[in-house]
Amino acid sequence: MGTLAGQVALITGGGRGIGAETAKLLAQHGATVALVARTREQLEATAAQIRDAGGTAYWFVADVSDEGAMREVVQSAFGITHNIDILVNNAGFIQSVGAIENSDPTAWWRTLEGNLKGLYLTTRLVLPSMLEQGRGQIVNVLSIAGARAFAGLSAYSCAKAAGLMFTRILAKEVRKRGVRVMAILPGAVDTAIWGEGENIPDREKMIRPQTVAQTILQMLLLPPDATVDELLLLPQEGIL
């Protein structure tokens, strides 16, 4: 298996779930990881686990949709690590659930903004350094909801669909300049994003966050003569 030794990975939504598992795995393979999330306690816990296992981790509390906060995060990360070779845009949440006719406009737009604006801002802040050094990898963690229609998830689905088009356009713009841009669209993953509602699919049938992390690692370790543009990762039984 390849190695990420000497590389720095910035991971949003890195305090728990897919982000935390990805951070742990990349650190195991030699990467220095910088974690970004809104909850300090989760960040501290994940970073401590990485350090206890012999890895190197830094963490920053920020909302990825806050441009000023993210600018400070990226500047601080560069100040510590001097470069960012890998960006995993994983942060996301669902605040608006239900039929469009009954939706709350504030929650709807907040869901769209939190998922799409953060993806754009973080990429926009990190990308120039990758282009300057002529290399880098960006993995956007999206969702099957960005490629299939799910009733009741209009805001989240629209954000993830827009994120997929953003990924496609970015890849077209920078692929000949040494930056590899990839998207992974998982189906149901057993994370806290589901909450405790009654209509949740059987968690035992969901993908484990560690499985998504392993897939992201494999994408990052691809030889330079290939790329994964978009990868659909579903539970064994398909869409739950």
DSSP state of 98: S
Buried b (16+ CB within 10 A) or exposed e, 185-217: bbbbbbbebeeeeeeeeeeeebbebebbbebbb
Buried b (16+ CB within 10 A) or exposed e, 134-166: eebbbbbbbbbbbeeeeeebbbbbbbbbbbbeb
Q: Which of 156, 171, 182, 209 is catalytic?
A: 156
Phi, then psi, of 189 in degrees rounded to 5: -115, 140
Contact by Cβ (8 Å): 86, 10: yes
Residue 58 annotated in active site: no
Q: Are strands 136-141 and 179-186 parallel, antiparallel or unpaired?
A: parallel
Mapped onto helix, strand or coil, the DSSP state of residue 226 is coil
Lookup result for tokens 């909850």:
39
C-alpha Rg value of the chain to the nearest Å = 17
Q: Which residues are catalytic?
A: 156
